[in-house]
């Protein structure tokens, strides 16, 4: 018998980002921050302030206001912005960009900002549709020869029986629906629903106990213990969330499909008339009770890189009808507003600064750095020995938290090459020798200044 090895399964590497461990602000029922909770460590005053902001947003009292996180590099400004979005709910859009990203040679900076604003505004649309919903009791698919290749068979039509606790109905469907049934690999025991108006098929899960249905110990779909109730043909409320930018792009593409007939090229910017028509349609849906606005978070890091035109645009956004929660962040003190000789706090004009709630963040203590590294190591599936964790905490306190966190994955690779199941302190020391931090890099430049190009 083959040897059975224990495999430790961690979150997919592709699903891990620098802030993927953050679940919220880590507050108790009274809005007070816990020392360590929801992936956040320390920053108790900033988290408490952010919690008050979240409550203001929920009460609809943030109109005309924004937030500015101010603090040294590596103090968790972006993490707090992500935490606010997570605290507001899973449907809350979160859009992040750096102040330097808006300067493009192809698209105006105000257009880049407008797209970011529109991406940060969600529209939850509720529709009542006629559907056929139930568990597949039987399914028969008829195939026909491909018109261009007689050796290939293609699905032509299907006969499918759907059942619930109280009803059963047999449907004959055409080629388009049949193709979806084949693509989704619909079989006996599957819980599905078909939109009666569009023919779109949705697979929900599998129901146990259906006659002649085959089940496996491991199923990729959610297993349900009971069949759905009610009639097969029914009305179903469908909720979908789009962003205003999604609707802008769709409306622009519809207009393009008409103008394209006359050889008009697609513009790099979306026409303002298109956005106005989308706004009018969204207002109509809201008045009819078919939709509601889901304000998202627009986070702009390195806000000091913005210029007067960008700041003026953001000031107008704060006053607009469809405005996301604007969160800026900077690590600058008194500095010049970009493109001017005007000195201003954080490089932001005073008229916009007066509209922002400023939340300061402070440097982490060594114990907080140690805990953050421990959380990130667990998120990335890196096992650390106690000595290695302490060494990384020292590095984070002496050099920077970002540098210490960046060493986790290289240290894990070195440990594997050295035959260690855990990262040991010697593995950490080896990657410290191989990868320099900013301070070490600057000292090397000074040491070999004469050899560098000027």
Residues 281 and 314 in one domain: no
Residue 12 predicted with pLDDT over 50: no
Does residue 173 register a pLDDT over 80?
A: yes
pLDDT of the residue at 17: 57
- Structure confidence at residue 42 (pLDDT): 83
- Reported as a pLDDT band with limits 50, 70 and 90, residue 162 is very high
Assess if residue 246 is contained within a domain. yes
- Is 272 found in the same domain as 128? yes
Asked if residue 79 belongs to a domain, the reply is yes
Is 206 contained in some domain?
Answer: yes
> What residue numbers bound the domain in which 94 lies?
39-120+296-360
**pLDDT value at 258 more than 60:** no
Q: Give the 3-state DSSP-derived string for the chain, with helices as H, strands as E and coil as C.
A: CCCCCCCCCCCCHHHCCCCCCCCCCCECCCCCECCEECCEECCHHHHHHHHHHHHHHHCCCCCCCEEEEECCCCCCHHHHHHHHHHHHCCCCCEEEEEHHHHCCCCCCHHHHHHHHHHHCEEEEEEEEEEEEEEEEEEEEEEEEECCCCCCCEEEEEEEEEEECCCCEEEEEECHHHHHHHHHCCCCCCEEEEEECCCCCEEEEEEECCCCCCCCCCCCCCCEECCCCCCCCEEEEEEEEEEEHHHHHHHHHHHHHHHHHHHCCCCCCCCCHHHHHHHHHHHHHHHHCCCEEEEECEEEEECHHHCEHHHHHHHHHHHCCCCCCEEEEEECCCEEECECCCCEEECCCCHHHHCCEEEEECCCCCHHHHHHHHHHHHHHHCCCECHHHHHHHHHHHHHCCHHHHHHCHHHHHHHHHHCCCCCECHHHHHHHHHHCCCHHHHHHHHHHCHHHCCC
Q: How far apart are CA 105 and CA 391, in angstroms?
A: 45
Q: What is the pLDDT of residue 266?
A: 46
CATH number at residue 413: 1.10.8.60
> Do 378 and 349 belong together in one domain?
no
Regarding whether 129 and 91 lie in a shared domain, the answer is no
Quick check: 260 pLDDT over 60? no
Q: Are residues 281 and 165 both part of a single domain?
A: yes
Domain count, the chain: 3
Q: Verify that 214 and 314 share a domain, yes or no.
A: no
pLDDT computed for residue 268 by the predictor: 65
| Lowest mean per-residue pLDDT among 49-58, 259-268, 367-376, 403-412 | 259-268
pLDDT band for position 453 (cuts 50, 70, 90): low
Q: Do 251 and 327 belong together in one domain?
A: no
Percent of the chain with pLDDT over 70: 91
pLDDT of residue 412 exceeding 60, the answer is yes
Same domain membership, residue 252 and residue 179: yes
Single out the residue in 336, 360, 384 at which a domain terminates.
360
pLDDT digits (tens, 9 = 90+) for 102-117: 887 677 888 888 889 8
136 & 262 share domain: yes
Same domain, 189 and 332: no
Q: What is the mean pLDDT of residues 134-145?
A: 88
Q: Which pLDDT score is estimated for 8?
A: 40
Identify the band that residue 211 occupies on the pLDDT scale cut at 50, 70 and 90: confident
Q: Which residue among 360, 379, 394 closes a domain?
A: 360
Q: What is the mean pLDDT of residues 176-190?
A: 89
Q: Examine residue 398 and state whether it is found in any structural domain, yes or no.
A: yes
User: Residue 191: what pLDDT?
Assistant: 92
Domain boundary (255, 290, 325) is at 290
The rounded mean pLDDT for the chain is 82
Please tell me the distance from the alpha carbon of residue 50 to that of residue 36, in angstroms, as a whole number. 16
Q: Specify whether 206 is located in the same domain as 82.
A: no
Percentage of residues in the chain with pLDDT exceeding 90?
Answer: 5
Confidence of residue 446 (pLDDT cuts 50, 70, 90): confident
Please state, as a whole number, how many other Cβ atoms lie within 10 Å of the Cβ of residue 214. Answer: 8
Q: How confident is the model at residue 159 (pLDDT cuts 50, 70, 90)?
A: very high
Strand pairing report for 190-195 and 121-145:
antiparallel
């Amino acid at each position: 018998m083959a040897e059975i090895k224990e495999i430790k399964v961690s979150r997919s590497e592709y699903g891990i980002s620098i802030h993927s461990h953050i679940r919220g602000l880590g507050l108790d029922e009274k809005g007070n921050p816990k020392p360590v909770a929801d992936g956040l460590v320390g920053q108790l005053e900033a988290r408490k302030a952010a919690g008050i902001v979240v409550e203001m947003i929920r009460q609809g009292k943030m109109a005309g206001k924004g937030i500015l996180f101010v603090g040294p590099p590596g103090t968790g400004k972006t993490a707090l912005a992500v935490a606010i979005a997570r605290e507001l709910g899973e449907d809350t859009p979160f859009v992040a960009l750096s102040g330097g990203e808006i300067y493009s040679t192809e698209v105006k900076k105000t257009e880049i900002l407008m797209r970011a604003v529109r991406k940060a505004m969600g529209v939850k649309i509720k529709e009542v549709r006629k559907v056929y919903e139930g568990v597949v009791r039987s399914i028969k698919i008829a195939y026909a020869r491909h018109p261009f290749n007689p050796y290939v068979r293609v699905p032509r039509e299907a006969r499918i029986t759907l059942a619930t606790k109280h009803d059963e109905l047999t449907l004959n469907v055409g080629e388009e629906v049949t193709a979806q049934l084949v693509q989704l690999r619909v079989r006996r025991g599957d819980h599905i629903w078909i939109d009666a108006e569009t023919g779109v098929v949705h697979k929900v899960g599998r129901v146990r106990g259906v006659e002649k249905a085959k089940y496996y110990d491991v199923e990729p779909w959610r297993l349900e213990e009971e069949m759905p109730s009610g009639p097969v043909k029914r009305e179903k409320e469908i909720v979908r969330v789009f962003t205003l930018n999604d609707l802008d792009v769709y409306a622009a593409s519809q207009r393009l499909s008409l103008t394209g007939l006359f050889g008009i090229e697609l513009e790099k910017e979306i026409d303002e008339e298109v956005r106005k028509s989308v706004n009018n349609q969204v207002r109509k849906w809201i008045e009819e009770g078919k939709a509601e606005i889901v304000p998202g978070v627009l986070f702009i890091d390195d806000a000091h890189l913005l210029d007067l035109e960008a700041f003026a645009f953001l000031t107008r956004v704060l006053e607009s009808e469809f405005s996301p929660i604007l969160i800026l962040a900077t690590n600058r003190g008194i500095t010049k507003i970009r493109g001017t000789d005007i000195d201003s706090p954080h490089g932001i004009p005073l008229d916009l600064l007066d509209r922002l709630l400023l939340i300061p963040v402070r440097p982490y203590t060594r114990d907080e750095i140690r805990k953050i590294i421990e959380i990130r190591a667990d998120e990335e599936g890196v096992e650390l020995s106690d000595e290695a964790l302490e060494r990384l905490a020292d590095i984070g306190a002496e050099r920077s938290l970002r540098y210490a966190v960046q060493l986790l994955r290289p240290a894990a690779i070195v440990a594997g090459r050295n035959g260690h199941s855990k990262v040991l302190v010697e593995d950490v020391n080896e990657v410290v020798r191989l990868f320099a931090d900013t301070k070490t890099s600057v000292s090397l430049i000074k040491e070999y200044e004469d050899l560098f190009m000027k």
